[in-house]
Amino acid sequence: MKKIRTRFAPSPTGYIHIGNIRSAIYPFLIAKQAGGQFILRIEDTDQARFVEGATELILDTLRWLHLEWDEGPIKNGPFAPYTQSARKDIYLKWAKQLIADGRAYADDTTSEQIDVYRKEDEAKKVPYLYRNHRPVNPPEWKEGLPIRFKTIPKEYSWHDEVMGDIHTGPEVCDDIILIKKDGLPTYNFAHIIDDTLMECSHITRGVEYLSSTPNYLALYDALDFPRHLFVSLPHILAPTGNKKLGKRDGAKSVTEYRDDGILPEAILNYLACLGWNDGTEQEIYSLEELIEKFSVDRIQNSGARFDEVKILWMNGQWIRKIATEQGIDELFARTCETTGSEDFSRYDLFQPIDFWPASAKQETIEYKKSVLAIIYDRLKTLSDLRTMTTYFFEDPAIDLSMITSSKFLKKYSEQELVGLLTETIEALNDVDEADWTEDNLQNLLNDLLVKTEKKPAEFFSLIRIAVSFAAFSPALHLTLHVLGKNRTLARLNKVRTALSNN
Ligand code: GLU
């Protein structure tokens, strides 16, 4: 059986846009499922588009997503180098071989002359094809001259694993450039040489390369290379309209999603299922499950629409899955990873704690974990922590209007509110520190509810606002439990005084 070897072949032209990384996920899954190899090849032959640092960004992004390559930069492997600019001589050798075989030629036609040909064809209303202007006596090749393929126009038929059987006529065959003036190969030429020499089994790439495939097939024939399996991935569409997802449609880079507090599991899960399903209703897949269940024949052949809301939903699902299956310690570790450090300094997710001295590091960590444990099920992104937990880390500024204009509380006079707070403070004051548990607090709050004869929404809103002055908080007994007896009472007292003095 043929070895399964797939590749991801990005060009280092900037950040990795969310839509492009799917071209890494599918080949990774194909290779891992078959126990094959996943190759990373850096296609940096377009010097004009090269961006410094972009290769490092690609490596970082793949590692973050756990798409570890078996061969490629850093790792190397039997077909090194895996960066095209370092393979220049290989392409030139094959191009020269094609010249020797009469299937390519050096071309000294100037770009001005090419323009003239183009205009002539336009005036004659015939499609512009370079092969119709092919020089009769091409020069000897020397450095600085491009090399072009000498095509033989004919019909081509091939099978694409996603798009099905395809047939094209001779009109699409042309003399494509193999080696450019700068001595570097074009993508059209280099990828065929590399995919063949690197013994790839599949070519998994965007559907935009489908129209060039007849010219690629002509090259396979001329080089006497066997064809690869072609897996063309349909476009990821912008949220509206029929265009391909682009930067202007809010498509962020993978690293931006990471910095926004999206987990790699969610990105992987979302993108893998964008245009693929296993025929069931399942929506949440781990990488291991994807490796097990992925199949090329269930990749959709029409474009899939990008939906950021779904990524957020999926991220929420993954946050809960990690917390419940692996525990809060793991979720905390993942939060630290996302936010840069244990004290969340990169994003200041949690405010500095003024309750303990800097030496109380362990207590601080435990406290953060207890906050995370009661809030995680409301998070869509890990960076939501920043805005959702402020009051756990600093005493909130008192804003009485939040109480007096609350739809649940505005019917009460300030005196009545002070009375309710007093009753609560007295009851809580009687609880020993050691009895300050979630269950006891829940019972105590329920007893107070019965005693005061207030509606839950009214009574709980008052206490919740008084301790947090936030738009929402986790369940009240959990919030009070984490805040602790002293901080809870101090805050309630302060609000009571403010209301009395109003
Ligand atoms: N370097 C090409 C790109 O980034 C890769 C296409 C392919 O996978 O063959 O679009």
Structure tokens at 495: 């609000």
For residue 109, is pLDDT > 90?
A: yes
This prediction's pTM: 0.90
How far apart CA 61 and CA 55 sit, in angstroms, is 10
Rounded mean pLDDT, 425-434? 97
For residue 350, is pLDDT > 80?
A: no
The residue to mutate among 22, 30, 192, 209, having the most atoms of ligand 1 within 8 angstroms of its beta carbon, is: 209
For residue 338, is pLDDT > 80?
A: no
pLDDT of residue 419: 97
Beta bridge pairs of residue 231:
204
Q: For residue 261, which of 357, 354, 346 has the smallest C-alpha distance?
A: 346
376 CA to centre of ligand 1 in angstroms: 39
Handedness of CA 184, 186, 191, 196 (dihedral sign): negative
pLDDT of residue 359: 61
pLDDT per position as a tens digit, 186-198: 999 999 999 999 9
Between 20 and 102, residue with greater pLDDT: 102
| Contact between 262 and 335 (Cβ < 8 Å) | no
pLDDT band (50, 70, 90) for residue 435: very high
Atom of ligand 1 nearest to the CA of 7: 8
191 lines ligand 1 (CB under 6 A): yes
pLDDT per position as a tens digit, 228-256: 999 999 999 988 888 888 877 777 889 88
For residue 342, is pLDDT > 60?
A: no
pLDDT of residue 351: 45
65 lines ligand 1 (CB under 6 A): no
Q: Give first-to-last CA distance, the chain, whole Å.
A: 83
pLDDT per position as a tens digit, 36-48: 999 999 999 998 9
10 CA to centre of ligand 1 in angstroms: 5
How far apart CA 23 and CA 40 sit, in angstroms, is 11
How far apart CA 380 and CA 207 sit, in angstroms, is 32
| Contact between 340 and 347 (Cβ < 8 Å) | yes
Rounded mean pLDDT, 310-331? 97
pLDDT band (50, 70, 90) for residue 346: very low
How far apart CA 275 and CA 283 sit, in angstroms, is 12
45 lines ligand 1 (CB under 6 A): no
How far apart CA 496 and CA 490 sit, in angstroms, is 10
9 lines ligand 1 (CB under 6 A): yes
pLDDT band (50, 70, 90) for residue 1: low
Structure tokens at 224: 């006497």
Average pLDDT of the chain is 93
- Strands across the sheet containing 104-106: 104-106, 147-149, 177-179
pLDDT of residue 347: 36
For residue 343, is pLDDT > 80?
A: no
Rounded mean pLDDT, 54-79? 96
pLDDT per position as a tens digit, 484-496: 999 999 999 999 9
What is the DSSP secondary-structure string of 259-277?
Answer: HTT--HHHHHHHHHTSSB-
Residue owning the nearest CA to atom 4 of ligand 1 = 10
